[in-house]
Chains A and B, each alone.
Chain A
Amino acid sequence: MRRYLRYTGQFAFFLLIAAFIGYFSNQPVYQQTPDGMAQIKLSFAHGAARKVDCRKLSSKEIARLPANERRPNTCARERIPVHIQLMLDGELLYDAQLQATGLSQDGPARTYRKLIVPAGPHTIVARLRDTKRGSGFDYEAERQVTLKPFQNLAIDFKADSGGFQFR
């Protein structure tokens, strides 16, 4: 009798452990994005203009350089920040001055942003300034989109392909 009780106990133990493992191996479900919301993922790497413009070297200056370093222009390496704005239905969703990367601030400015917005129709305006102009933007794109729930809309920026890309 006692023996059967023990067998039953062992069986119950393994049942319990198997159920525990089976359940927690994929439950409970984790809700990463709330229902009815979509995501705009803004990410790009872009180098803005140099802080100091390139300057033509005079022929005397060129002559003074070692032979293997002679070049027509001289450029300071530091870049100005990239100014980026994202508007959703006329409201500013994201507005940032992105510093250039690299030790001497000569690399591209980078961003990677996830913005959770309600699903549905929206007007998205993206703007970017990468020159030293005081106001206004060098690139601007406007899109009418209808975001489905859980849709991921990627916005990239590539200057040589004409600016903002919505994917």
Chain B
Amino acid sequence: MNMARLMLRRGFNVAEGVLGQVFPPAWNPMLNLGALGFFFYWIITVSGIYIYIFFDTGVLNAYASIEYMTHEQWYLAGIMRSFHRYASDALILVMMLHLLREFARDRYRGVRWFSWVTGVPIMVMVFVAGISGYWLVWDKLAQYIAIVSTEWLDMLPIFGEPIARNFLSPDALESRFFTLMIFMHIAIPLIALVILWVHLQRVAKPRINPPRGLAISVFAALIALSLVHPALSQAPADLAVVPGKVGLDWFYLPLFPALETLPGSLTWGMSACLLAIMIAMPWLPPLKRARPAAVDLANCNGCARCFHDCPYNAISMVARSDGTAFEREPAVNPDLCVSCGLCAGACPTSMPFRRLSELSPGIDLPDRTMAQLRDLTETAARNLTGTERIMVFGCDTGPDLAEVSSKSVGVVPLVCIGQLPPAFIDYVLSRNLADGVVLTGCRENSCNARCGIEWTNSRLAGERDPHLRARVPRDLLRTAWVGATGGRQLHHALQALVRELKDADVDVRPAPAVKCPPTACEAVDA
């Protein structure tokens, strides 16, 4: 499992990197797979409703009604039909990539089991919905699907009369199966939509809409494809003739030839195993998880920043329990917490300047505490030499920090860059622990903890609490959102900063060993 995950992760890193060369980070399709899935879902829904208006629901006339749409009303119903088909194919593509990517980035174990396990029935339903949709065309392909799927179902000893006998010969054909398929084709996507809603219950502010530019481009590509290569029916179904040659939709039907030719015990056994493995995967083996965030009420003023910044809805604000004058306090649900540390990065009491009392914020990761983070920073600073000393803060899922570590570059690892309170940057520069600071991590828009980069960028820009103080010289600070494979780009960013530090006027740097201004320290030490 580990090997497969690492290899896949490498593949995704390369693909994301290549696409990152031509797409701005927000638009990178590889970083918008879930949102694109929703986008295709809406396209399928709207086009489906439109073509249903013209669809004849009887098995004998269905084919002709679809031919009418494709050839007579090609300019609207025909395009809608193409949309319906191609968006469904694209949905499979993005759904399978989304699934593989969550697997590759190990975001399916631990408390994230919930999104994974609820994803499995969605996947099955998307396939069943597509297969039932092809049935409705009642052409050669539909005939092939009807026969193979009923024969496959007949391999289970649950039906008395083989249901494939419904398709024995032309005079055996009845509408009842067809009606059932129409019902399924409408009901299953609706049920899947409900499960999709459940799928996102543990994700705070999920990104379900792709950025507008990407949506428009995808839409344009769909229109172009529908005009150049409209979706067509194959020859009408005829039970007196076997569907000897069929054009298969390989997105939905790649397994049909196998279902037809392999023994039922094998295909049913393998399907059951595959499904069981997929459902059990979050525990194969379970994640050795870090302890969840812990609240220290003695240092908490109930400001709710942690609550607003948690990307997994793991924090709720509840009535204060310690008798202090504050109204509320945060409560962490350990079943939802992924131990990303974004809450600790948001807490106003995560102040490295604190010396009088222990550095103990209102909320912290027991396994990677703020106090440890400050110790790591100070230790790294002590070993730095030269006049262009740089401190790199980087997250575990970003580029390999050991590769850039040197006499003049100190490195401090974090779970996620969002764990870093901006005060640490101020601390490093104002205490002259280094001459420049670089923050690095995942690719923009692809943060492993979902929101770490976004929160960090807006904290630096002063748009989100806690702000980076105005006195911090911005030209001594760089961010490098380059991802795990971005070692070289990080290196370039460091070199560029070193060059600038060399060229810079001496006075852009803070005077050495500035003491923390009394106001800043008092605020937290009082």
Comparing B154-162, B476-484, B486-494, the segment that makes contact with chain A is: B154-162
Within 8 Å CB of B160, what residues of A?
A: 101, 107
Q: Is the beta-carbon distance between A21 and B90 smaller than 8 angstroms? A: yes
Q: Does B323 contact A (CB under 8 A)?
A: no
Q: Which of B23, B218, B242, B248 contacts A151 (CB 8 A)?
A: B242
CA distance A63 to B164 in the complex (A): 47
Within 8 Å CB of B220, what residues of A?
A: 14
Decide yes or no: A14 and B22 within 8 Å by CB, A24-B251, A167-B171 being known contacts.
Answer: no
Interface residues of A in 114-159 (CB under 8 A from B): 149-152, 154, 156
Q: Is the beta-carbon distance between A43 and B245 smaller than 8 angstroms? A: no
> How many inter-chain residue pairs (CB < 8 Å) link A and B?
123
Q: Is the beta-carbon distance between B85 and A32 smaller than 8 angstroms? A: no
Q: Which of B22, B168, B229, B249 contacts A156 (CB 8 A)?
A: B168
Total interface residues on B, using CB and 8 Å?
52
Q: Does A1 contact B (CB under 8 A)?
A: no
Within 8 Å CB of B172, what residues of A?
A: 154
- Return the CB mask of A10-47 against B: 1 if under 8 Å, else 0: 10011101100110111111111101011101010100
Within 8 Å CB of B151, what residues of A?
A: 112
Interface size class of A (residues with CB under 8 A): 35 or more
Q: Is the beta-carbon distance between B248 and A43 smaller than 8 angstroms? A: no
- Return the CB mask of B457-474 against A: 1 if under 8 Å, else 0: 000000000000000000
CA distance A150 to B240 in the complex (A): 9
CA distance A152 to B93 in the complex (A): 35
Q: Does A6 contact B (CB under 8 A)?
A: yes
Q: Does B257 contact A (CB under 8 A)?
A: yes
Q: Is the beta-carbon distance between A9 and B244 smaller than 8 angstroms? A: no
Q: Is the beta-carbon distance between B247 and A30 smaller than 8 angstroms? A: yes
Q: Is the beta-carbon distance between A18 and B225 smaller than 8 angstroms? A: yes
Q: Does A110 contact B (CB under 8 A)?
A: yes
Interface residues of B in 65-101 (CB under 8 A from A): 85-86, 89-90, 93
Q: Does B19 contact A (CB under 8 A)?
A: yes
Within 8 Å CB of B251, what residues of A?
A: 21, 24-25
Q: Does B273 contact A (CB under 8 A)?
A: no
Q: Ordered nearest first, which 3 A-B pairs have the shortest CB separation? A: A9-B22, A26-B247, A154-B169
Other than A25-B251, A152-B242, give 9 A-B pairs with Cβ distance below 8 A.
Answer: A17-B90, A21-B89, A26-B248, A33-B244, A39-B242, A45-B161, A150-B242, A151-B240, A156-B169
Interface residues of A (CB under 8 A from B): 5-6, 9-10, 13-15, 17-18, 21-22, 24-33, 35, 37-39, 41, 43, 45, 101, 107, 110, 112, 149-152, 154, 156, 167
